[in-house]
Structure 1
Amino acid sequence: MTTPKFAQIKQFIVDKIRSATWQENQRVPSENELASQFSVSRMTARRALSELTEAGILTRSQGLGTFVATFKSQSSLLEIKNIADEVKERNGNYTCNVLILESINAVAPIAIALGVEIDSVVYRSVLVHNENDSPLQLEERFVNPALASGYLQQDFTALTPHEYLSSVAPLTQARHTVEAIMPNSEMCQWLNLYNEEPCLQVIRRTWSIHGIVSFARLVSPGSKYRLGGHLTFKK
């Protein structure tokens, strides 16, 4: 099957960035230039640039052109996205290391966060999400067994906790808190941080129609990750 022209253009741009031929913040060819180079319509070239912009690989500036984005990964604070999908949208290779998968008795803060009784059994997982074999995010998650009874039986190298929980307890609501932190020694070890650096921590609780599903702490090195979003206001 012949690869569509817009996909060929996307691969061409990604290859230039991966090989470091094009550096971050460097201007890339315009729609007209790409259309001429690949003998396609301007609309086809625009589609390629638009899809790479939406994936965070490129950034567009009105009147100036299209540029290679900075190499920090970006997640939206306005929606819950599956981290594996985020990595794949950037044409990265996603992998996961499962560090801990266990049942524990909920201490008071965890019990309150999940809306369960103190000392009741809850599930805990600790994972490291990787992009191109480099640690991108540490995820510690506590799960309500009543809403996800098969959690500990899942292979989280094959699917993410977000994917599993979305299938058994579809998300209806989420709340975030975001702050900058200095990682402790354990976090540094898990994230392969040899030089201590500030990290971005997101605390997130998610609900389904039946109650609180999970309470998670997501920690990412500040040099690799950022949060962003786009709002459109109706007049």
Structure 2
Amino acid sequence: MNQNQSLLPRYQQIKHFILDKIERGEWSEARKVPSENQLCEQFSVSRMTARKALQELTASGVLMRQQGLGTFVAPLKPQSSMLAVRNIADEIRERGHGYSNRVLLLEAEKATEAIAVSLELPESATVFHSIIVHYENGEPLQWEERHINPRFASDYLNQDFSQETPNVYLNRVAALTEATHVVEAVLPSESVAGLLSMEPGAPCLRILRRSWCRRGVVSLAKLMHPGDRYRLGDHLQFT
């Protein structure tokens, strides 16, 4: 257990322990996981704490409970979303246009309280922080700010994001399984408006995206798009 994990609440430490076993292939699909009593003894916690860890992993689909038999590793099911997670470079190239980007920031820093909560880390834990502007035919289309949990992308700061976007890299190394989105119209800061070549007072379309792998929260992204140059759409299939 690393230093950041040791600062987490005990039930989250148990969750990380179980998720690590699954992610590394030590515990395969349908394998029975330790019981509440066994976890209590192993981690020196109350039964309520052990139960909370198992219940949360069951609710998220990582584990499954069979009455009278115990708790088991659940099959990995495909995820679907009302809003697909697209790679901005692919979107641009599919339109037959040229893609490029400019990396403005790529560094490690201490997490603020809000970032730590979003990434399920202790306050002041080390996170990776990047800011990149993406261009379509030389015109700025997206301002992207990301905070990354280093546990899931330890080599993030060494990447050449002119060759591979953060979205593609994180999918490759962390095997993202799900994401949440909040989409809203906002007025950008003066600096962001300048980087996106926007007129003063023009609105932005902002997407806040939180992405997970099976072991936890990988990334918190803020994506800003000029309102007059970007449309957000998806094809929905009802079953």
Q: Normalised by the shorter chain, which TM-score bucket?
A: 0.5 to 0.7
Distance 2:94 2:198 in 1: 25
Residue 113 (1) aligns with residue 113 (2) = no
Distance 2:87 2:207 in 1: 14
Contact 1:103 1:124 in 2 (8 A): yes
Distance 2:159 2:193 in 1: 26
**Which letter does structure 2 place at the counterpart of 1:94?**
Y
Match of 2:172 among 167, 173, 193: 167
Percent identity between the aligned chains? 47
TM-superposed deviation, 1:190: 1.6
Decide which moves more: 218-227 or 76-85. 76-85
Distance 2:191 2:222 in 1: 14
TM-superposed deviation, 1:180: 0.3
User: 1:13-162 to 2 correspondence within 5 Å?
Assistant: 78-162=83-167
Determine the structure 2 residue equivalent to 1:197: 202
Contact 1:77 1:227 in 2 (8 A): no
Cα 1:168/1:113, change in 2 over 3 Å: same
Distance 2:82 2:233 in 1: 6
Deviant stretches of 4+, over 2 Å = none
Match of 2:189 among 163, 184, 187: 184
TM-superposed deviation, 1:127: 0.2
TM-superposed deviation, 1:182: 0.5
SS at match of 2:232: strand
SS at match of 1:171: coil
Cα 1:87/1:221, change in 2 over 3 Å: same
Residues 16-75 of structure 1 show CA distances to partners (whole Å, capped at 9, x for unaligned) of xxxxxxxxxxxxxxxxxxxxxxxxxxxxxxxxxxxxxxxxxxxxxxxxxxxxxxxxxxxx
TM-superposed deviation, 1:77: 5.7
Q: TM-score, normalised by structure 2?
A: 0.65
Q: Which runs of 5+ in 2 are unaligned?
A: 1-80
**Which letter does structure 1 place at the counterpart of 2:231?**
R
**Which letter does structure 2 place at the counterpart of 1:149?**
S
SS at match of 1:103: strand
Residue 211 (1) aligns with residue 216 (2) = yes
Distance 2:178 2:226 in 1: 26
Distance 2:208 2:237 in 1: 25
Distance 2:164 2:235 in 1: 28
Residues 95-125 of structure 1 show CA distances to partners (whole Å, capped at 9, x for unaligned) of 0000000111001000001011100100000
Contact 2:82 2:236 in 1 (8 A): no
Distance 1:181 1:194 in 2: 14
Contact 1:77 1:228 in 2 (8 A): no
Determine the structure 2 residue equivalent to 1:223: 228
TM-superposed deviation, 1:223: 0.4
Residues 184-232 of structure 1 show CA distances to partners (whole Å, capped at 9, x for unaligned) of 1111122122433100000000000111000000000000111111222
What number of residue pairs does the alignment pair up?
Answer: 159
Q: Give me the CA root mean square deviation.
A: 1.2
